[in-house]
Chains A and B, each alone.
Chain A
């Protein structure tokens, strides 16, 4: 094989190996307050990556920054080889990244079906019926409530709706912000097992931000720990679960 041919091959493998989402040295500010202090992390295709940390560590800010609001002041965010650091939120959303934002943010006066339609807005609802069927299999609870107003459902059902709405855009990368917040342990289990299913069966890449470190690390292939705006630790989910520091800081205190 010629040198040029080998070079092409190397390039291709590199492209394959390049992470789907690559965050490098990102810092972000709310006014003059620095919320992120040079965050580095990456998410590979097909992985579940968890970001854990205490309240106010900057986990949600990082997720919002990846989505362009607030925009990163320094550093770069690359998604599938494209620099998305300076893109507007709605443009990023059209690149097959879907987000289930903090606090669910479902459209409470619209029906479940309409919520899901909004999720499919990026491709004009071309495969709406098919995707609706998929969501109903994934979350049977939603199927019973398709014509109910979103705001009248329980917290767990709303969270399911928020995830299903994000999935309606057929994303390559799903970003979940605190999906377990305020939910009963049984519901958390259901939601996390649905996420694991999606990852194993459809190869969906998932980036999950959680305070519930135990469940998140058990679910994730890899994890990062964030403290006051910077990543302090990383490793596989197992490693972090067994790490004495992580144990002391995030696992003890009955969050199981």
Chain B
């Protein structure tokens, strides 16, 4: 609609020049357009009559109601948008940048603090460790995705290589641990680095054929790679157990001490009363440490020449080459390092579930991880963490919307609307923060750091 496409500046100018009459005129125009649309579509309905033929029912009341609703909505929207544009105009762009990084600076320690104390908070809030189980489980789930998001962020956010098959490396890690532990009886602590290495090797394997691809073409090939891994796992029954998966994978131990009630168990050794929750809390801290390691490595890499080369590669590959950067090595290391962290996360997944099957590694997983990176604002670490909380925790939260029953009646099941609400939230997010939650990239070198 014509007036909808006016530039923000024009809208601001108009709103400032004649706030009320202008707004009413604008909203009136919208209502008029609605009327025009409604007359042929809504105003008459034909029903089957008693005998032969149709009966026309006029619905002018509905038409009027629709026009009125559009009028009011448009009026409110302009009122809000006008105010927002004016606020934006008043703020210097520099202030926005500072605001964004300050937001990150405030959020990071808070998020970290909550993450570090979550098991205690859950125990306190729910009464006992056992009752806080739901929250710790949710925390583990979210942290797994935070770690995957940070890992993929290396590939997509830093190096700019759109990878739609990231879940393949997650699967490689999970199956590495599952197979090594069930077949060879290796412990988790040996398998963890091995799983990372295997996944990294697969990362290089994927990297070689796609060296010359970029953007959409790269996305298609990586998507296919993810599917290949999943289909191999389903069909190579002798190796992976097919779609039945691998079960009874050994549980995690406290660096060799099993979490059992027995004499050699973790609780007995440390003189604690046995509690099955110990294992869960340990798993929670394990994934927290793994995720933080991913974060630290990424932050460190960004300051190293290789990490900066990744970012330069994302910006301009030709310029990179003409500056003497070996783009082959740069791309392969990004793929390998990103895949390695997915491998770690995968072996953690296997040890937590004690069961892996190809079903856990479908395209939807890749899509969710990619959505976390994109929503978080490509390249922003805290943004990715928050996006993971929203993406994984959000649907969980929507499970508990029992109060909506009071609004929509007994027959309303919030679970059925979970994905709808979720989709709406994502659309809203893309409208209001199109470049991600934390879209501002902090430079890896600043003046203050150099002491000048």
Contact = CB atoms under 8 A, between A and B. Distances in A.
Given A111-B443, A118-B309, A105 B324 contact: no
A89 B316 CA distance: 14
B321 A169 contact: no
A101 interface: yes
Interface string A47-91: 000000000000000000001010000000000000000001111
Given A88-B321, A110-B312, A118-B312, 6 more contacts: A90-B327, A91-B324, A113-B443, A114-B311, A114-B445, A117-B445
B325 interface: yes
B92 interface: no
A94 B324 contact: yes
Interface size class of B (residues with CB under 8 A): 20 to 34
A152 to B, nearest CB: 9
Given A89-B321, A93-B321, A101-B322, A117 B447 contact: no
B311 A99 contact: no
B323 A119 contact: yes
A133 to B, nearest CB: 12
A117 B315 CA distance: 14
B53 interface: no
Interface in B246-279: none
A147 B321 contact: no
Interface string B316-330: 101111111111000
Contacts of A105: 316, 318-319, 322
Contacts of B447: 146-147
A178 to B, nearest CB: 14
A125 B327 CA distance: 18
B322 A106 contact: no
B445 A165 contact: no
Contacts of A124: 305
A122 interface: yes
Interface of A: 67, 69, 88-91, 93-94, 99, 101, 105-111, 113-114, 117-119, 121-122, 124-125, 146-147, 165-166, 169
A101 B318 contact: yes
B119 to A, nearest CB: 39
A109 B444 contact: no
B325 A90 contact: yes
Given A109-B315, A121-B309, A165 B446 contact: no
Nearest to B315: A107
B399 interface: no
Contact of A110 (B315, B324, B446): B315
B441 interface: yes
Contacts, number: 82
Given A119-B323, A169-B323, A114 B308 contact: yes
A168 to B, nearest CB: 9
A106 B315 CA distance: 8
B314 to A, nearest CB: 8
A31 B182 CA distance: 54
B326 to A, nearest CB: 5
Contacts of B324: 90-91, 93-94, 121-122, 169
Interface string B428-452: 0000000000000101111100000
B325 A110 contact: no
Contacts of A169: 323-324
Given A90-B324, A93-B322, A107-B319, A117 B308 contact: yes
A169 B323 CA distance: 8
Given A105-B316, A109-B315, A125-B305, A147 B323 contact: no
Contacts of B323: 90, 93, 118-119, 121-122, 165-166, 169
A165 B324 CA distance: 12
Given A110-B315, A114-B445, A89 B322 contact: yes
11 contacts: A90-B327, A93-B322, A94-B324, A106-B316, A107-B312, A110-B308, A110-B312, A118-B312, A146-B447, A165-B323, A166-B323
A121 B309 CA distance: 9
Given A89-B322, A101-B319, A110 B305 contact: no
Nearest to B326: A90
Contacts of B319: 101, 105-107
